[in-house]
Amino acid sequence: MSNIVRRGIHYMPALNAAKVSAAMLEKGQSRVIDASLTLIRERAKLKGELVRALGGSKATSTLLGVPLGHNSSFLQGPAFAPPRIREAIWCGSTNSTTEEGKELQDARVLTDVGDVPIQEIRDCGVDDHRLMNVIGESVKLVMDEEPLRPLVLGGDHSISFPVIRAVSEKLGGPVDVLHLDAHPDNYDAFEGNIYSHASSFARVMEGNYVRRLLQVGIRSITAEGRAQAKKFGVEQYEMRTFSRDRHFLENLKLGEGVKGVYISIDVDCLDPAFAPGVSHIEPGGLSFRDVLNILHNLQGDVVAGDVVELNPQRDTVDGMTAMVAAKLVRELAAKISK
C-alpha cells in the first residue's frame, strides 16, 4: 500500500489522541463533504451552461473521476487511474475523433467536471457508508445539469454501486446494466467488506436498481458467484462459451421499458495481452475489438457508464493499458452522447 493511500488511515489515531470530540469531528467531516459537493456542483453548472449555450445536444458525456482504491481486495493502484486516463484521452499520439466520427473536442460530445476528492474526504475519517453517499450525490449533481450524463472514471469497481444507485434514483426507476468483467463482483461481502470491489453488484441487485444485469467476459467465478447470479437472476456469459454467444452479444438490444442502459467496463474484461496494467490478471479474456463490437452494435439509450480497475502501478509498457482504458472511454462517450 502506498504512503498516499495509507495517509487517511493514519489520521484517525491522531485525532483520537488529540481528544477531538465526536461532535467536532462530525462538523469537520460535514464541512469537507459540503465543500467537495460544492466543487462538483459548480463545475457541473458551468459545463452544463456551456453545452446548453452551444446547443444541439440531447446528451453529453461528462467525465467524473472517482479515485478510490481502498476497497480493492488485492492492489490499491486503481486510485491513481483517473488522471492517467485523462492524459491518455488527449495524448497527441492519436486524434480526438472516435471511430463513429464524433469529435471529442466538441464540448457537446465530451466534457469534464473533475474528480470527487476521495482522499481528502477519507482523511477526515469519513466511513465508507457515507463516502458511497458522497459519490452518489456527486453523480446526481452532474445529472441535474441537462444534458450532462455521467461517465465515471474509476477507481476500483466498488464505485459502480453508488453510481448505479444514483442513476436509478435520479431517473426514477431501474436500468439495464451491461457489465464487462473477468469477475462477477457479486460476493455478498468479500472478506467481510460489504463495499468490496468484489461485492458491488450484490449491492446493486439488492436495491432493485437494475432490471437486467448482463455480465460478459466472465472467466474467474466461484460457486458463490454462480449462486449469487442465480439468486438475483443475473445473465452471465462466460468466456468458455463466448464463441457460441458472440452473435447474441454483438447484437444486444437493452433498455426498453426501463430508464435506459448503464455500461460498466472493468478493464480486466480484456485479455491481459491487450491490457496488462490491471490488478487481477486473468488470461483468456475478450479482445479489444470484441468489446468495441459489443459497444458499437448495442441498441439502447445509454444514460451513464463507468470504466474501472486500471492500475497505473502495473501499467509498465509505456502506458499501454491507460491508452486502452482511454479508448474505451472515448468510444463509450460516443455511445452516450447524441
Dist. CA 252–CA 76, nearest whole Å: 33
Supply the DSSP string of 132-182, one letter for each residue.
HHHHHHHHHHHHTSTTEEEEEEESSGGGHHHHHHHHHHHHTS-EEEEEE-S
Strand residue runs (E) in 205-297: 210-218, 235-238, 261-266
Report field, pTM of the whole predicted structure over 0.85: yes
pLDDT of residue 10: 53
**Percent over 70 (pLDDT), the chain:** 94
Q: Is 181 one of the annotated binding-site residues?
A: yes
- Span 289-300, mean pLDDT? 98
Judged by DSSP in three states, 303 sits in strand
pLDDT of residue 47: 98
Q: What is the pLDDT of residues 182-210, one digit of tens each?
A: 999 999 999 999 999 999 999 999 999 99
> Please, which pLDDT band fits residue 5 given cuts at 50, 70 and 90?
very low
Dist. CA 32–CA 126, nearest whole Å: 10
Q: Is 266 one of the annotated binding-site residues?
A: yes
Dist. CA 9–CA 192, nearest whole Å: 18
pLDDT of residue 17: 55
- Span 19-34, mean pLDDT? 88
Q: Is 185 one of the annotated binding-site residues?
A: yes
Look at residue 2 and tell me whether its pLDDT is greater than 50: no
Cβ neighbours for 335, distance < 8 A, ≥ 6 positions apart: 263, 295, 296, 298, 302, 305
Angle (nearest 5°) at CA 62 between 58 and 66: 150
Look at residue 167 and tell me whether its pLDDT is greater than 80: yes
pLDDT of residue 313: 95
Q: What is the pLDDT of residues 47-92, one digit of tens each?
A: 999 999 999 999 999 999 999 999 999 999 999 999 999 999 999 9
pLDDT of residue 14: 62
pLDDT of residue 20: 73
Q: Check residues 22 and 158 and name the one with the higher pLDDT.
A: 158
Look at residue 18 and tell me whether its pLDDT is greater than 90: no
Q: Can you give the residue ranges of every domain in the chain?
A: 22-336
Q: Which amino acid is at 121?
A: I
How far CA 246 is from CA of 176, 216, 298, in Å, comes to: 19, 10, 13
pLDDT of residue 195: 97
pLDDT of residue 236: 98
Q: What's the mean per-residue pLDDT of the chain?
A: 94
> Please, which pLDDT band fits residue 21 given cuts at 50, 70 and 90?
confident
* CATH ID of 22-336, from 3.40.50.620, 3.20.20.70, 3.40.50.2300, 3.40.800.10: 3.40.800.10
- Span 113-142, mean pLDDT? 96
Q: What is the pLDDT of residues 230-289, one digit of tens each?
A: 999 999 999 999 999 999 999 999 999 999 999 999 999 999 999 999 999 999 999 999
pLDDT of residue 317: 79
